């Protein structure tokens, strides 16, 4: 009886929907929100790029992660409107996650060209530059992002990552400390601080930072770890979290290696 009632409601909804074509475009978004049936929603609003953009974002979220579908709907939106804000940004993130760094850079540069005031684009471009060893450009972009959002622990951590790769250990330390002032006991910042202190011959400080990082990791879940990596496949969280903890342990072991060398 209950199922029959629901069926009647659904049929009535679509009868009303098609009776008022003026409302079809708006209702298409509601249809997808409640049904998660993209083909039905697109049938109702075939020329709506924002609808496709929202569908793509749904598949690029952790709750319904499907990167191929996300890319497909972003590209469909692109065919309709090549200047839709956020579209090139999201495609850049898609290609970054896929390791297609050249294409990702092309897309994020287009987003910056269209919307230079959207400073999150500089963060994404900083990541792309970082993964392609264009370190001075990555440093510049992360600093540009932090001018806009100085309270971002992630921005501070990634800037520290770039500075460390350039051998700027004192600057790495200072940036990591600035991030920890925002997010005390942050796993990633503590690890960055530990590496910086290790390379500035502050072994006791490094040991304390790594110890705190391990303690922080013990209080985290896989999903907590995944929050720091939006756009990644949730199925990879367990492996990624495990590698992060192992990396901190290996950094701690570097201290022991140094101690043993000094004793000889």
The predicted-structure confidence for 89-117, as pLDDT tens digits, reads as follows 999 999 999 999 999 999 999 999 999 99
Mean pLDDT, rounded, for 172-177: 98
pLDDT digits (tens, 9 = 90+) for 180-237: 999 999 999 999 999 999 999 999 999 999 999 999 999 999 999 999 998 999 999 9
pLDDT digits (tens, 9 = 90+) for 245-256: 999 999 999 887
* Confidence band for 23, pLDDT divided at 50, 70 and 90: very low
Mean pLDDT, rounded, for 139-161: 98
Three-state secondary structure string covering the chain: CHHHHHHHHHHHHHHHHHHCHHHHHHHHHHHHHHHCCHHHHHHHCCCCHHHHHHHHHHHCCHHHCCHHHHHHHHHHHHHHCCCCCCHHHHHHHHHHHCCCHHHHHHHHHHHHHHCCCCCHHHHHHHHHHHHCCCHHHHHHHHHHHHHHCCCCHHHHHHHHHHHHHCCCHHHHHHHHHHHHHHCCCCHHHHHHHHHHHHCCCCHHHHHHHHHHHHHHHHCCCHHHHHHCCCCCCHHHHHHHHHHHHHHHHHHHHHHHHHHHHHHC
What's the mean per-residue pLDDT of the chain? Answer: 90
pTM of the model: 0.86
* Confidence band for 6, pLDDT divided at 50, 70 and 90: very low
Domain limits, CATH 1.25.40.10, in the chain: 88-149
Mean pLDDT, rounded, for 140-158: 97
Q: Which CATH superfamily is domain 88-149 in?
A: Tetratricopeptide repeat domain (1.25.40.10)
Q: Indicate the fold that domain 17-84 takes in CATH.
A: 1.25.40
* pLDDT score recorded for residue 199: 96
* pLDDT score recorded for residue 240: 94
* pLDDT score recorded for residue 212: 97
* pLDDT score recorded for residue 63: 84
What would be the CATH architecture of the domain defined by 168-232+241-259?
Alpha Horseshoe (1.25)
Comparing 62 with 18, which gets the higher pLDDT?
62
């Amino acid at each position: 009886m209950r199922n029959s009632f629901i069926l009647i409601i659904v049929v009535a909804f679509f009868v009303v929907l098609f009776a008022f074509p003026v409302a079809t475009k708006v209702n298409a978004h509601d249809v997808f929100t409640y049904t998660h049936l993209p083909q039905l929603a697109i049938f109702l609003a075939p020329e709506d790029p924002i609808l496709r953009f929202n569908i793509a974002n749904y598949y690029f979220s952790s709750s319904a992660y499907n990167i191929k579908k996300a890319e497909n709907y972003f590209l469909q939106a692109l065919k309709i409107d090549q200047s839709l804000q956020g579209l090139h940004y999201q495609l850049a993130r898609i290609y970054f996650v896929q390791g297609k760094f050249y294409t990702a850079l092309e897309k994020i540069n287009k987003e910056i060209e269209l919307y230079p005031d959207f400073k999150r684009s500089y963060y994404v471009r900083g990541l792309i530059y970082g993964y392609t060893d264009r370190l001075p450009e990555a440093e510049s972009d992360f600093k540009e992002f932090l001018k806009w959002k100085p309270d971002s622990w992630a921005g501070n951590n990634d800037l520290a990552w770039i500075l460390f790769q350039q051998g700027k250990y004192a600057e790495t330390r200072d940036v990591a400390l600035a991030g920890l002032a925002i997010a005390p006991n942050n796993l990633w910042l503590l690890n960055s601080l530990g590496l910086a202190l290790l390379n500035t011959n502050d072994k006791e400080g490094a040991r304390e930072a790594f110890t705190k990082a391990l303690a922080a990791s013990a209080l985290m879940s896989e999903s907590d770890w995944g929050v720091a990596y939006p756009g990644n496949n949730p199925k990879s969280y367990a492996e990624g979290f495990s590698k992060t903890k192992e990396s901190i342990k290996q950094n701690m072991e570097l201290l022991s290696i140094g101690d043993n060398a000094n004793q000889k």
